[in-house]
Homo-oligomer: A and B are copies of this chain.
Amino acid sequence: MPYPFVSLCGSLLILFSFCCFSATPVEFAKQYTYPSKIMAEEREYSVYLPPSYTQHSTQSYPVIYVLDGDQSKLLSISGVVQALSTEELENQIPQFIIVAIPNTNRSRDLTPTQTDLIYKGKELAKIPGSGGADKFLNFIQNELMPQIEKSYRTNQTKVLVGMSFGGLFTGHALLTRPEMFSHYLIADATYVWDDNYLNRIALGQIERLKQKRLSVYLALANNDHIGEHGVANRAWGNGFIARLNAIRSDNFHVYSDYFPKQRHGTVQMLAWYHGLVALFSAPSATASMKNDR
């Protein structure tokens, strides 16, 4: 064997041993790129696998899909999920696979209709290119989800988690594709979108939900400090919750929390925490989980 080869291997080994003795990287997820035909762009996503997910196991896992899913958000929700699913915290929820989907164009992908953010005729914000939610749902349903289900041992429990515009998107998905996820976690959605959009389309869609076996959790924050549209957002959110509660059944579960001390900008992690506990540790949810696991 030529001398330089031996020397290189030797050096690499020494370097490797040294590096791993002094600092071993601790990994919590993997990041992937998907060449999406539907979106006509490369889409990244990151996947967290639970501690018990090993090559040697045959267990299947429920999956959480997180919108606005940059790696910082994936770390945060993985922290919540991992804590709640450990024995130390009484296994309040099952272990999950988590798929985080970061944005390339948030305004485009998370909004269901083409409009700016307008309340009572007053423009609150320009939302350029809005109205792409259905296309983004197509991407998740027809490209990302099959990719995940092909790559990992998943079961039938699929959770969509969204906040603000992501909550609007999650509510839109609930109303228009109730078969796509088994659980929808909607954190302080933008109810003021497009003149009360979620309640408006609920009128035509809500009867379909009655037939479905699914669970919804909705969190509302106190946005009174931002004025009239903050008050309206909660009022319309409460209207949406009331509509869903009106069709509750043994199959269709609705949970909700109002966080009077939290604002739109502070409610997110508490919504995840209490929402996941409500969805997955309530007796009815536990019963249905048992069938899925």
A residues with a Cβ closer than 8 A to B are 1-2, 4-5, 8, 21-33, 46, 51, 71-80, 82-84, 86, 88-90, 92, 263, 265-266, 268-270, 273
Contact = CB atoms under 8 A, between A and B. Distances in A.
A23 B28 contact: no
Contacts of A269: 80, 83-84, 89, 273
Given A27-B25, A75-B79, A92 B32 contact: no
Contacts of A71: 26
Contacts of A263: 90
B92 A266 contact: yes
A46 B30 CA distance: 20
Contacts of A273: 269-270, 273
Number of copies of chain A assembled together: 2
A115 to B, nearest CB: 24
A77 B74 contact: no
A196 B2 CA distance: 71
Contacts of A270: 273
Nearest to A277: B266
Contacts of A78: 75, 79
B8 A33 contact: no
B74 A80 contact: no
Contact of A28 (B1, B28, B51): B28
Q: Which of A30, A72, A75, A78 has the most CB of B within 10 A?
A: A75
A34 to B, nearest CB: 11
B21 A33 contact: yes
Contacts of A21: 33
A104 B273 CA distance: 30
A94 B265 CA distance: 16
Nearest to A26: B29
Contacts of A5: 2, 4-5, 8
Nearest to A47: B23
B80 A76 contact: yes
Contact of A30 (B24, B51, B80, B89): B24
Given A5-B5, A21-B33, A79-B82, 13 more contacts: A1-B4, A2-B5, A24-B31, A24-B32, A25-B25, A26-B27, A26-B46, A28-B75, A73-B88, A76-B82, A78-B79, A88-B265, A90-B263
A29 B26 CA distance: 5
Nearest to A85: B72
Contacts of A89: 265-266, 268-269
22 contacts: A2-B2, A8-B8, A22-B32, A23-B31, A25-B30, A25-B31, A26-B28, A26-B46, A26-B74, A28-B75, A51-B72, A72-B82, A73-B88, A76-B80, A79-B83, A80-B80, A80-B269, A84-B269, A88-B268, A90-B263, A90-B266, A270-B273
